[in-house]
A and B are shown apart, each in its own frame.
Chain A
Amino acid sequence: MARPVVKKEFSLSDRVYLIEIIKGLGLTWKHFLFNFRACFRPGPHTVPTCWQYPEDLREIAPIFRGAHMLLLDEKGREKCVGCGMCARACPAKCITVKRGKVQEGEEGKYAGKTYCAEFKIDMLRCIFCGFCEEACPKGAIVLGQEYELAEYTPEKCLYDKARLLANYEKAKSEGKLKPARKPVPVEAPPPKAAPKSKPKAAAKKVKEKEGTKQA
């Protein structure tokens, strides 16, 4: 709904403008004093409108997609079986997986019969979409909460398996592991109920059904 334009006439104090300037100076002085006192206070979040980054951090949602990690199960064995589904699902094609058969003496380290001999993620190509996490049949790769991923050389941004396992250890020690995603239960479609509407509408519906059946 449109509001009519009210043409505001300038009062004398507006026209002189010096008075308005002085009023404006008072307003900015209040802001200045407030922030001046705030910057002397210790502790995080002293200035409410400006969060100083390394000291004031934002709260991350639990489903935030940060850096990847390879999970261990309750017995401490690597969950990843090296199937390569994550590499297949990745839209940016940044994951490289090589499967290896578990040897006789190494049963305790791996959960399955095969393991990933080589697992590389190129973080510079990764788009953090989370498809690898959704595609993994074992729930072995998860995107964690780590977002401070800057490095000094590009070589350090190619994560290998050791780095990914280390990410898991770090997240576990900081308590930032998110709970496993439970599968969403899919409801059975409701059975086709008999039309309870008026006879005319019912006749129309029967005609439509017949029409679609024929088509």
Chain B
Amino acid sequence: MDFYFWLFATMAVCAGIFTIAARDPLPSALGLLTVFIACAALYLHLHAPLIAIFQVTIYAGAILVLVVFVIMLLTSPDERLSLLQANMSYRIMGVVLGACIIGLLAAGTKGLINIVGSKALPDGFGSPARFGDLFYRNYLLHFEVASVLLLVALIGGIYLAKKNL
């Protein structure tokens, strides 16, 4: 009975449900923040401290801040999301897509139980040194492709935002 896992897993699921069901946009964003923090705690539990730090720094600390920024700029404190949420076609589509995703996940993880067991982790698993090693030797192409993707996004953002280039 892994108390740590169950605590953060239930926290993540409850926060996820709160994110979808909240009336106001900003508490919904806060629910997403809780999901990210719970996931980071779970990554810590899986001996991946660097991924946990990246989750908090990048996801919760930059991307979600940008989302919150947009919410603050474009909505007023009295606005409710109920108008969008009341749309019947959105709800039906949400249920259908949710069911499809759950089905895909279930199909994908069906055989996982047989593979995963308790294993001895290699030495230095999850440490920054090992991480850097893998990143810059075995997975260098993936790293460079990700940076090109970010460059493309940057150029797109500048183009959209500037009035006269």
Direct contact, A vs B (beta carbon within 8 Å): no
Q: Point out residues on B near A: beta carbons under 8 Å.
A: none
User: Which residues of A are at the interface with B, using a C-beta cutoff of 8 A?
Assistant: none
